[in-house]
Amino acid sequence: MHFAAYVGLLFALLASLFLAGLAAYASWQNREGTLPFLERGQLLNAVLVVFSSYLLLIALVGRDYSFLYVFENVDNTLSLLYRITAFWAGRAGSLLFWHLIMAVAGAVFLFTRGYKSLSDQTRMLYWLLFYVVQAFFLLLLACHSNPFIEATPAPGDGLGLNPLLQNPGMAFHPPLLFLGYGFFALPACCALACMLAGEPRSWLRVCRNWILTAWAFLTAGIILGGWWSYMELGWGGYWAWDPVENASLIPWFSGTALLHTAIIENRRGALQRTNVFLMAGTFLLCVFGTYLVRSGVDVQSLHTFGSGVVATPLTVFMLGGLAVSLITVLFGEKPVYRALSGFTSRQGMLVISAWVFLALGVVVALGTMWPVISKLWSPTAVGLDPAFYNRVCLPLFTLLVLVFCICPWFGWKEGIRDSRGAAGTAGVFGGSLVMFWLAGIHIPLALIAASGAVAAMASIVLLMVLIPATRRTRFSWGPHLVHLGLALMALAVAFSGPYKEETQATLHPGESMQVGHYLLTHQQLSQERSRAVLSYRAELVVVRDGEEIGTVRPERRWYPNSRNSFAEVSVIPGLGDEIYATLLGYDGKDGSVTISASVNPLVNWLWIGGTLMSLAPLVLLRRNPEPA
C-alpha cells in the first residue's frame, strides 16, 4: 500500500504542476477552451488525494506498522477513535489532511453558482493560483513530510499517540482548524484572480459562504482548543499565549478584520484593495501558523510538533505569496476610489474594529516570534511571558467590547441614528459599572470589560426593540448573534481570570481544604489498571454552606509506553462557579493526595459564547450568491 499511496501523491503533484502551467499559458493566450480540462483536472486531483488519504487511514485503523507514520502514532492499546485521530496527529498526516480539505473544497467549488458566474479569464487565473498552492503542499508531502515511508522490518507494536492528544477535544480541534485553513485558500486565490482579471468586486459575492464557513470552523477550533487546554493540561486556565495557541489566533484576527471591512465594500464599494490583501494575508497567516507549529522554529513553545525540515519551503512560500499579493494589489485593476465617512459613523466604527483586530494580530505575531527576533542582538533567545500579552492585548479587547456597544447606534452617514438606544446603552453601561463596583470588582480592565459586555448585550436587545428592521431576516440579526457570543466571552474572561480562587494542599483521608466558599473533603484514593494506563484517582466531596453539591474525582495517569504521567482534571460545572480539581501527587501507602483546587467564576460562559460565535455565521450563509 505504501507504493500505491505515494504514487497517488506523485500523480497529483505532477498533475498540479502541469495544470498550473497550462492555466498560465491559457490566461496569457486567452484560451478559454482549456477551462474544461482545468476543471476536470481538479476532480482528478481530488480523487488521487482522497485515494492516498484513504490508504493511510486504513493503515492507521488496521495498525499496519509497516507504515512508519503508523508506527510513530499508534500502538496496540489505542482505541479506534484515537487511531483515526492519529491521521492528523503528526506533521506529515496533518499536512496531508490540510491538502485533502483543499482538494475536495476545490472540486466542490466547481459546481457552485458563484464559480459559474465568474468570467472565463478570472477562472483561468484562479486555477493558476489554486494549482500552485496545491502543488506546494504536494511537494512538501512528497519530498519533506512523506506519510507513506515504509518501516522495515515492520515492528509488532507502535510508539503510540501522545497521551495529551488522547482526549475527545483533540478528535475535533485540529480538524476544525484545518477546515478553516483549507477553506480560506479558495477565496484567497479567487480574490487575487478577480483583481488580476479586472473584476475586483466579484470575489466577495462568490466567496461569501466560503469565508463565513472558514471563519466559523477556525473559531470553533480555537474555542475547542481552549477547552482542551482547560480540561486536559490541568493548570486551571484556558489560554497561556503559547506559540501553538497563537498560531491559530493570528489568522483569526486578520480574518475577523476582513469580515468587518467586507461589510463596507458590500455597502459602499470602498476598501476593495484592502479586502483583497486581507483575504490573501489571512491564508498566508494560516501557513505561518503551520510554520510555527510544524517547522521546529525556536519559539519556545511547550508543545510544538515537528522538526525544521519544512521551515525553508514554508518560508519561501510565504514570502512568494506575500510578493504576489502585494504586486496584485498595487498593480492590478485600480478600483474606483470611494471616500469613507468619518469615525462617528457605522463605517468609522467598522474601520476602528478592523484596525484593533489587526493590531492584536501584529502584537501576537511579534510576541510569538520574539525568541527568533531577539537572536538578532542577543546570543540567546528571549521569550515573552503571558503577562506581556495580557498587558497589551486585554486593553485592546476591552476597546473592542466598547466599540460593539456603540457601533449599532451610528448610521452609515455621520451621527447617531437612534438617540434612545444610544442613551439606553450608555445608561446600562453606567449602571453596570456601579453594580460591579459595589459587588467587589475593582480591577479597572475587568470592571470596564464586564460592564461593556453587559452594555453590548443590552444594545442588541434595544436594537431589536427600537429598530424592527434588524429582526426581520436572519441576515440582519446574524452578526448580532456573533457579537452576543463575544460579549458573553468577555464577561467570562473578566471574571474567570482575575477573580479565580485557588488553593493547594496535601490531604489524608478525612481531611479538608477550603477554597473560597467551598469545602473539599478527601474520601479515598483508588487505583485502576488497564493494559494502556495505570490510574490513581482521588475522591473529594464538595460542600458549600453545609450542603453537599457534588464530588470531584481528579486522576493521575501513568502511560507505560511513553513513560509519562499526566493529570486528568475533574470539575463540578455551573453557570456561576465551577469547581476545578487537579491531582498533583499521591502516596499509595497512606492514601494522602496533593490537590490543587480552584473556583472559576463564570468560566462556562466562555464555552457558551464561543459556541454561539461559531454557529452564528451559519445563519448568514446564502443559497445563491448576491448579484454583482
Looking at 494-533, which runs of residues are DSSP E strands?
Answer: 501-507, 512-515, 518-529
Give the pLDDT of residue 383: 78
Average pLDDT over residues 301-308: 52
pLDDT number for residue 297: 64
| Per-residue pLDDT tens digits for 52-63 | 999 999 999 999
**CA-closest candidate to residue 553, choices 516, 528, 589, 517:** 528
Q: Choose among 56, 37, 40: nearest CA to 97.
A: 56
- Give residue-wise pLDDT tens across range 544-590: 988 999 999 999 988 877 778 888 999 999 999 999 999 999 998 88
Q: Which DSSP state fits 147?
A: T
* Paired residues of 600 in beta bridges: 578
Q: Which three cell numbers stand for residue 208?
A: 461569501
| Helices 120-143 and 91-109, packing angle to 10 deg | 160
The string of DSSP codes covering 428-449 is: HHHHHHHHHHHTT---HHHHHH
What are the tens digits of pLDDT across the range 18-50? 999 999 999 888 888 889 999 999 999 999 999
| The predicted structure's pLDDT at residue 305 | 52
Q: At 579, which amino acid appears?
A: I
Cβ neighbors of 188 (< 8 A, separation 6 or more) are: 279, 280, 282, 283, 284
CB 280 within 8 A of CB 307: no
Burial class of residue 374 (count of CB atoms within 10 Å of its CB; 0-12, 13-18, 19+): middle
* Mean per-residue pLDDT, 533-550: 93
Around Cβ 562, how many Cβ atoms within 10 Å?
Answer: 15
**Cβ atoms 45, 103 nearer than 8 A:** yes
Number of H helices, E strands in the chain: 18, 10
Rounded to whole angstroms, how far apart are CA atoms 91 and 308? 11
Q: Does position 316 have pLDDT exceeding 90, yes or no?
A: yes
**pLDDT value, residue 627:** 45
- CA 51 to CA 6: how far, in whole Å? 10
* Chain mean position to CA 129: 24
Residue 628, pLDDT above cutoff 50: no
Residue 625 has pLDDT above 60, yes or no: no
Q: How far apart are CA 544 and CA 389, in angstroms?
A: 35
SS3 502: strand
pLDDT > 60? residue 323: yes
Q: Name which of 294-298, 357-361, 398-402, 427-431 the model is least confident about.
A: 294-298
* Distance (Å, whole) CA 628 – CA 202: 6
Q: What distance in Å separates the CA atoms of residue 435 and residue 162, rounded to the nearest whole number?
A: 47
Q: Establish whether the linkage from the previous residue to 153 is cis, with ω within 30° of 0.
A: yes
pLDDT of residue 602: 94
Arithmetic mean of pLDDT, 532-543: 92
**Segment 258-269 mean pLDDT:** 90
What confidence score (pLDDT) does residue 62 get? 94
577-586: strand order across its sheet: 501-507, 593-601, 577-586, 570-572
Confidence of residue 338 (pLDDT cuts 50, 70, 90): low
- Asked if residue 489 lies in contact with residue 610, where contact means CB atoms within 8 angstroms, the answer is yes
Provide, rounded to the nearest whole percent, the portion of the chain with pLDDT above 90. 64
* 8 A C-beta contact, residue 361 and residue 254: yes
In tens, the pLDDT along 134-153 reads: 999 999 999 988 999 998 88
Mean pLDDT of 98-102: 96
Stretch 489-506: mean pLDDT, rounded? 93
Higher-scoring residue by pLDDT: 292, 255:
255
Provide the pLDDT for residue 337.
60
Cα-Cα end-to-end distance for the chain: 48
C-alpha span between 378 and 214 (Å, rounded): 39
Under the banding of pLDDT at 50, 70 and 90, the label for residue 308 is low
Give mean pLDDT, residues 522-534.
88
- DSSP H or E run through 377: none
- Domain ranges in the chain are 1-162, 167-381, 386-499+606-620, 501-603
Query: Phi and psi for 9 in degrees, rounded to 5?
Result: -65, -45
Of the two residues 70 and 162, the one the predictor is more confident about is 70
DSSP structural state of residue 512: E
